[in-house]
A and B are shown apart, each in its own frame.
Chain A
Amino acid sequence: MSNPLVDMQKPEVIFCIGTNMTECHPVAATGLKKAIARGAKLIVADPRRIGLAEMSHLYLPLRVGSDTALLLGMAHVIAREGLIDEAFIEKRTTGFDQFFEHISQWTPEWAETITGVPAKDIETAAMWYGRANKGAIYYTLGITEHICGVENVQSLCNIALMTGNVGREGTGINPMRGQNNIQGAGDSGALPNNYPGFQSVTDPKHQAKFKAEYGREVDLEKGITKVTALELCGETIHAMLIDGENTLLSDPDREHCEHALRSLEHLVVVDIFLTETAELADVVLPATAWGETDGVCANTERRVQRVRAAVPPPGVAKPDWWIICQIAQRLGFKGFDFNEPKPIFNELCRVSPIYAGLDWDRIEKGEYQWPVPHKGHPGTPMLHEEEFVNGRGIFSNVHYRDPAETISDEFPVWLTTGRRLESYHTRTQTGRAEGIDYLLPEESLEVNPADLERWELTDGEWCKMSSARGSINIKVKATNRSPRGTVFASFSFADVPVNLLTGSGYDPVTHTAELKVCPVRLEPL
């Protein structure tokens, strides 16, 4: 997030797109609810009539995968109505003239033909956001889990830059991270393109720095992403070390994924349960869980916080860091002589410019948000206040692209996927928490009531749902949360493995899977 969580109570106009925040980030959503109670206007763009849509002042029910078109249409209106922040554009950005020309063709009437959202509603959204002194954007995987995830994010940056809604209280471009330490995993350098602290691996200076630090020269080329690695399993990738990820259920195209992992010569999985992924491993190593592990996590607003052990682990389970050190030591790797987490975190701080002002003791109370470039620095709750990291904000002349697969006679229904309030990811955790079943005992497919007859389905009965990759059986639930022609299911339940069906395509830059769009066919059982 460019802005801190406390800022969520402060915008005048809130634009939520591709985020089901009341279910997936409920505590963050309480900030928006307070802003609304104070008089802020809420615009929600989402294919489904989710909780946020119900509380919105303007709801834009766009067709799945059409976000870029909607945002181009909004940019067109903002420019046409003269709602641009000329001083901000002049001082802080580059490429506006070409962008201005580019968007002149993408009218809201054109956007209506792609998105299905009435042009006048697109105009209203653009004018509310464009006129707001404080306009804030919030998004989640509904923006990024598309083949055009990069263009979607660039489109959001475009409208924020045009209107100067960056670098001030109650504004910003704010992605909500979905896992407790997904931010920290990236911060720590577990990325194929970056060393710790987002230092590019293709920069010879960084290569030299880490050679001095680690005693080993690392490739100057980027590594491959997990998606590519899974594709290459059995061809060029022959061994994997997977820590705490149920790849088989969480990733798209499960059959492909299972085949990939089975074709490895050597698979080592570190986890707290014998997950579907761990069952394929040659060696399974039991890790300590939350509540049993001392360490550090970073949240969605870049806040670096301590996690602490309260109880001992079961059996002989050990912390992840200990397990990795033990394997590394047996292979003769240098720099893994750790007996506790504190010096590991301090080493991370030493090699990461964004953590340079932090250490284990300083983060005791969690008051720092990175970057913290030196000791004594107060941290950076808000990014981009004076300037952008790369100097000027860049306008991107994006084009709309269709999803990898679009509906057809064979697969005439849009399936979109996500999470629910009461379950989390593949339910390795919430599925084992007593009482949760009372609220959410099983998965069901959300279908618009008007579509039931058309597809010969019955509310509460099972149906067969097929995509180009496979079929699953799932119970039908009639609800107006789904628009006509679009259905929704979560990927949480192992007995309804929705990710058998997904996996039609990937964003070519980020390799993020298009989990939000999958044409399917529904048949009664």
Chain B
Amino acid sequence: MTREMEIDGVEVTFSEGETVLEIAERHQKEIPTLCYDPRLEPFGGCRLCIVELEGARNPVAACTTKATPGMVVRTATDTIEAYRKTLLEMVVSENREVDVSPLRGYASSELANLRDKYDIAPTKITGAKSGTNKTDDDNPFILRDYELCISCYRCVRVCAEQEGDHAINVMNRGFHTQITTEFNGLLKDSACTFCGQCIQTCPTGALGDKKALRAANEVTDAIPDKTRTICPYCGVGCSVDILTKGEKIVGIHPAMDGPANQGALCVKGQFAYDFVQHPDRLKTPLIRGADSELHEATWEDALNKAADGFRKVNAEHGRHSVYGIASGRAPSEAAYLMQKFIRVGFGTNYIDNCSRA
């Protein structure tokens, strides 16, 4: 059932259960957030999404407020914008730095973008910095640069709600809040599966993709190119964006709108991509020579030898002596042409794929 409410003087419709933030975003209102990840339960921690609600004494967080019929909401009054600016000034003042490489993670520039939008000066508020880096964690994938942590708990919540791993949580209170594992140890000694979801939801780069940073040599400014594709591992078919700089793959971002994964990935899809540009890759065709060794060859020679062998075996032993095995790893065009090769070429069904073992 659709209902009606008013946002910034405009009548809008909504469905039961929708939050003010969801409705506002649907109507192209730009409400700032830091603790919000649309895949997670609303948290209401950062208070940046506050809006004025007619009849309410104080502003309310749009992310946790469910819409009700007849509600009248103003999303960007001068007062609200001033509150937001002050909140951002305080958040920015606690961090060692705000400008981080976009390679740290999918959302790592969110704080920097809001600082720019609200024109926050770096020196407005000075004082103590919060968070202590976990420098002794030598894992190769997840940077734990907690000096940039703003205690939005997105990492804790994505680990619990999205992954169901509950590997990380919060210790201490207030200014001394710190994200940690049980017994404040290394990630590899926790329930962490290195799926990388925490680094991808972190809005400040406090958690970062170490592997991408290594690949790009800590370049902080240039935004990588992205190519949408599907993960090369299991059959779930998670959508990913391959990050490239020039001709080099430097990392993977989960596709938040991926139909099979809605932004989720596992350790293989997130981090095991660099086999593609490994030095062991075959670069030229190889032909077995008279010395029984494989030797580099031109495409012309290799393809001729490949074809000659099939022609000879077919002539000597008949068409039921040739067999094709298609790949479950290559795209369907390869499998389709493999079966066509056998069926058109030899008139047999001597074709299979690697699904039986």
B259–A286 touching, CB < 8 Å: no
Stretch at the interface among B18-26, B89-97, B127-135, B338-346: B338-346
- Chain A neighbourhood of B285, CB < 8 A: 283-286, 316
List 28 contacting pairs A-B, 8 Å CB cutoff, sorted by A: A26-B267, A180-B233, A185-B332, A188-B332, A210-B343, A214-B344, A239-B323, A242-B325, A244-B329, A251-B357, A265-B312, A274-B280, A282-B305, A291-B276, A299-B230, A307-B230, A315-B284, A320-B333, A320-B337, A327-B306, A328-B337, A328-B344, A336-B344, A344-B337, A345-B332, A365-B259, A366-B230, A511-B356
Partner of B339, one of A196, A338, A366, A513: A196
The answer to whether A317 and B325 touch (CB under 8 A), given A432-B274, A435-B211, is no
Measured in the bound complex, the distance between the Cα atoms of B352 and A452 in whole Å is: 42
Q: Residues of A contacting B235 with CB < 8 Å? A: 25, 176-180, 182-183, 299-300
Q: Which residues of A contact B282 (CB under 8 A)?
A: 271-274, 278, 284, 286-287, 314-315, 317
- Whether B309 contacts A219 by the Cβ 8 Å rule is no
Determine if B140 and A311 form an interchain contact, defined as CB atoms under 8 angstroms apart.
Answer: no
User: In the complex the two chains form, what is the Cα distance from A217 to B338 in whole Å?
Assistant: 17
- What is the distance, in angstroms, from A479's C-beta to the closest C-beta of chain B? 16
The answer to whether the Cβ of B49 comes within 8 Å of any Cβ in the partner chain is: no
Q: Does B83 contact A (CB under 8 A)?
A: no
Q: Does B143 contact A (CB under 8 A)?
A: no
B82 vs chain A, min Cβ distance (A): 39
With A286-B285, A324-B334 known as contacts, the answer to whether A243 contacts B327 (CB < 8 A) is yes
Q: Does B56 contact A (CB under 8 A)?
A: no
A24, B304: Cα distance in complex, Å: 40
Contacts of B233 in A (CB 8 A): 179-180, 424, 429
Please report B residues at the A interface, Cβ cutoff 8 Å.
Answer: 139-141, 161-164, 188, 193-195, 211, 225, 227-239, 242, 244, 247-249, 258-261, 264-269, 271-278, 280-288, 294, 299, 302-307, 309-314, 316-317, 320-341, 343-345, 347-357
Interface residues of A, count at CB 8 A: 152
Contact A225 B232 (CB under 8 A): no
A428 to B327: give the CA distance in the assembly, Å. 14
Known A241-B306, A283-B302; 5 more pairs at CB < 8 Å? A27-B261, A244-B330, A245-B329, A303-B237, A429-B275
User: Which residues in A have their C-beta under 8 angstroms from that of B227?
Assistant: 291, 308-310
Q: Write the nearest CB–CB distance from B287 to chain A, whole angstroms.
A: 6
- A290–B261 alpha-carbon span in the complex (Å): 19
**Chain B residues within an 8 Å CB radius of A252:** 357
Given contacts A180-B235, A283-B309, A515-B357, contact A297 B344 (CB under 8 A): no
Q: Does A325 contact B (CB under 8 A)?
A: yes
CB distance from A461 to the nearest CB of B (A): 23
Q: CA separation between A328 and B307, bound complex, in Å?
A: 7
Give Cα A240 to B314, complex, Å: 11
| A434, CB-defined interface residue at 8 Å | yes
If A308-B229, A429-B275 touch, whether A273 touches B344 (CB-CB below 8 Å) is no
The residue in chain A whose Cβ has the minimal distance to the Cβ of B313 is: A239
**Contact present for B280 and A268 (CB under 8 Å):** no
Q: Is A238 an interface residue (CB 8 A)?
A: yes
Task: Pick the interface stretch among A30-38, A93-101, A469-477.
Answer: A30-38
User: Does the CB pair A25–B352 fall under 8 Å?
Assistant: no
- Asked whether A439 and B234 contact (CB < 8 A) given A310-B244, A335-B340, the answer is no
The B-contacting residues of A in range 2-54, CB under 8 angstroms, are 5, 22, 24-30, 33-34, 36-37
Q: Assuming A176-B235, A303-B259, A315-B283, is B338 touching A243 (CB within 8 A)? A: yes
User: Are A266 and B312 also in contact (CB < 8 A) when A178-B234, A296-B331 are?
Assistant: yes
Chain A residues closer than 8 Å to B242, beta-carbon distance: 291, 310-311
A436 contacts B272, C-beta separation under 8 Å = yes
Q: Are the CB atoms of A347 and B336 closer together than 8 Å?
A: yes
B314 to chain A, nearest CB (A): 8
* Cα separation A311 to B278 with both chains bound (whole Å): 13
Contact mask for chain A residues 419-451; partner B; CB cutoff 8 A; 1 contact, 0 none: 001101000111111111011000000000000
Cα A224 to Cα B316 in complex, Å, equals 20
Complex Cα–Cα for A272 and B327 (A): 12
Give the distance in Å from the alpha carbon of A505 to the alpha carbon of B282 in the complex: 35
* Residue of B266, B282, B307, B354 most packed against chain A (CB within 10 A): B282
A422 touches B307 (CB 8 A): no
- Give which listed residue, A250, A310, A323, A330, contacts B354 with CB less than 8 A: A250
Interfacial chain A residues near B268, Cβ < 8 Å: 421-422, 424, 430
Q: Are A289 and B294 in contact (CB under 8 A)?
A: no
In the complex, A250→B306 CA distance in Å?
Answer: 24
A187 to chain B, nearest CB (A): 7
Please give, as numbers and ranges, the residues of chain B lying within 8 Å of A192 by CB-CB distance: 349-352
Please indicate the chain B residues that have their CB under 8 angstroms from the CB of A22 in the complex: 193
Residue of A nearest to B254 (CB): A27
Chain B nearest CB, measured from A366 CB (Å): 5
Question: Would B230 and A317 count as touching, CB distance under 8 A?
Answer: no
Of residues 328 to 351 in A, which have CB atoms within 8 Å of B's CB atoms?
328, 330-331, 333-336, 338, 341, 344-345, 347-348
Q: Are B274 and A433 in contact (CB under 8 A)?
A: yes
In the complex, chain A residues 169-211 whose Cβ is within 8 Å of any chain B Cβ: 176-193, 195-196, 201, 210
- Asked if residues B320 and A429 are in contact (CB atoms below 8 Å), the reply is no
Q: CA–CA, A44 to B42, complex, Å?
A: 32
Alpha-carbon distance A134/B45, docked complex (angstroms): 36
Decide if A227 is an interface residue (CB 8 Å cutoff). yes
Whether the pair B236, A289 counts as a contact (CB closer than 8 A) is no
In the complex, which residue of chain B has the Cβ closest to the Cβ of A429?
A: B275
List, in ascending order, chain A residues with CB within 8 A of B354's CB: 179, 182, 185, 226, 245, 247, 250
Contact of A30 among B264, B287, B306 (CB under 8 A): B264
User: For residue A189, which residues in chain B have a CB less than 8 angstroms away from its CB?
Assistant: 335-336, 339-340, 343, 351
Q: In the complex, which of the residues B273, B307, B329 has the most CB atoms of chain A within 10 Å of its own CB atom?
A: B329
Contact B336 A348 (CB under 8 A): yes
State A247–B317 Cα separation when bound (angstroms): 24
> Is A504 an interface residue when CB atoms closer than 8 A count as contact?
no
Closest chain A CB from B353 CB (angstroms) = 4
- Give CA–CA (A46, B199) in the complex, Å: 33
Distance to closest chain A CB from B22 (angstroms):
19
In the complex, A178→B310 CA distance in Å? 31
Known contacts A176-B235, A435-B141: A181-B276 contact under CB 8 Å: no
